[in-house]
Amino acid sequence: MRALIFLVAGLACTSLACSPREPSGKAAKTIPVVGDETPLVKLKANTHEFVGKTFLIMGGVQVEDYFNFKYGDAKSTHVSFRFDELRADGSYTPIGGMDLYARRAIAGPLVEEISHVTSQGSRGKVVRAKITILPERYGGTSDMAELLDWQFLSPDRKSWGPWMNKTSEYDAVPQPLVR
């Protein structure tokens, strides 16, 4: 399992047991949960039900260089990211994560933001991500998905900022969000 460092509410989380604390000693709710996110445990248990649909996940991403299986030919067209699911308290879920692939045409702002936070000591960025499992890229597992859009935490870390994909490249993905 991969352990990542993410800056959550100004604190560095370095392990799966990370849980930022408030002065009272109680775990702080550091990442806002909207309620429309799909837990990865549902995705991994019933991947076939998610193929061709658009859904939301929440966690940390970092840039990686992993192109295999149905994305083995995608290095010239996509950027590879590692996604690890986070709970609202900033700790990692035991289910782990998955590999996300964004078309190079839209990935630049996310790569730049990850580059910025890594220059400050973090290994990734906390996001809400809109993803899909493309039928033509589905290889029977839940470990790979297409990243369509993402939101960053707002500066006060109490809400999410705007969706960052400013292109209309994925407007043709009309499927409703799965909850």
- Cα(26)–Cα(40) distance, rounded to whole angstroms? 26
Q: What is the mean pLDDT of residues 60-78?
A: 96
At residue 155, the pLDDT reads 87
Cα→Cα distances 86→6, 16, 138, 178, Å: 10, 9, 24, 19
97 close to 2: Cβ distance less than 8 angstroms: yes
At residue 31, the pLDDT reads 93
Q: What is the mean pLDDT of residues 74-100?
A: 94
Question: pTM (2 decimals)?
Answer: 0.79
Residue 7 has pLDDT above 50, yes or no: no
Residue 176 has pLDDT above 60, yes or no: no
Q: What is the mean pLDDT of residues 151-159?
A: 92
At residue 141, the pLDDT reads 80
What is the DSSP secondary structure assignment for residue 114, as one 8-state letter?
H
Cα→Cα distances 9→13, 92, 153, Å: 10, 15, 9
Q: What is the mean pLDDT of residues 146-168?
A: 90
Residue 2 has pLDDT above 50, yes or no: no
**Which of 88 and 142 is assigned the larger pLDDT?**
88
Q: What is the mean pLDDT of residues 39-60?
A: 94
At residue 168, the pLDDT reads 56
